[in-house]
Amino acid sequence: MFSNSFPDRNVMAELMARMLWEIQAVHFRADEPYRLASGMASPVYVDCRKLLSYPRVRSAIMDFAAATITRSAGFERFDVVAGGETAGIPFAALLADRLGLPMIYVRKKPKGHGRAAQIEGVMPEGARVLVIEDLVTVGGSMFTFIDAIRAAGGIVEHGMSLFYYGIFAQAAARYANGGVTLHHIATWRDVLAVARADRLFDEATLSSVEAFFDDPLAWSSAHGGVAELPVA
């Protein structure tokens, strides 16, 4: 169980951003952009899986996640915590332990042998399920898991993302249209605020990163990446 302490949302966001910098899980590279799976050119990159390798950081982040979801959604709103294959699975186990709830995990597709199951674990019909991911960009992967849970008789009204890009209008529309409230701890703008306050980069890099956050598709197109995101 978590400590039932409820730090200010802005404090949790800043602390998570500082943790990500401390463990080198976030990177700014405006002069040599990263190429994302979507084809987008990006001056930023995050690897939330690294959180698992740092026990003190991991513990604090999961306390933040528990505090965020219980304060925003409620203490008795869920019956099961679900993690999506693969990055969401360990965080679902950790959060389920914090909340004192059962845990399941969801495959991207049904496995091709045995029971051909897509959901592993016990999920009663009508169970209220909290889905957790390590990060959300526009929400496509989370809704793959949400759709599978709903098809199996589960109820999903809330999602939890440790890190949320927070720069794509498509994401807000997807969650609104899908009837899911997305909760999160930190965003890219929180990471940028720490980088600027601590002078981690020159102003040209910080300004280029901020320009990407303000209009990511225009920035991508100007730097050799796609000018629009896939519909799916």
Residue 142 lies in a domain: yes
What CATH number corresponds to the domain at position 87?
Answer: 3.40.50.2020
Residue 231 lies in a domain: no
Residue 62 lies in a domain: yes
pTM of the model: 0.93
The yes-or-no verdict on residue 116 having pLDDT over 80 is no
Q: What is the signed CA dihedral for 67, 73, 75, 76, rounded to 10 degrees? A: -150
Query: pLDDT at position 58, please?
Result: 97
Residue 34 lies in a domain: yes
Residue 187 lies in a domain: yes
Distance between CA 78 and CA 196 in Å, rounded?
38
User: Domain of 19?
Assistant: 9-209
Residue 33 lies in a domain: yes
For 120, list phi and psi in degrees, rounded to 5.
-110, 130
- Choose among 11, 49, 15, 29: nearest CA to 200: 29
Distance between CA 19 and CA 28 in Å, rounded?
15
Q: What is the mean pLDDT of residues 168-193?
A: 97
Residue 227 lies in a domain: no
Label residue 152 exposed, middle or buried (CB < 10 Å: 0-12, 13-18, 19+): middle
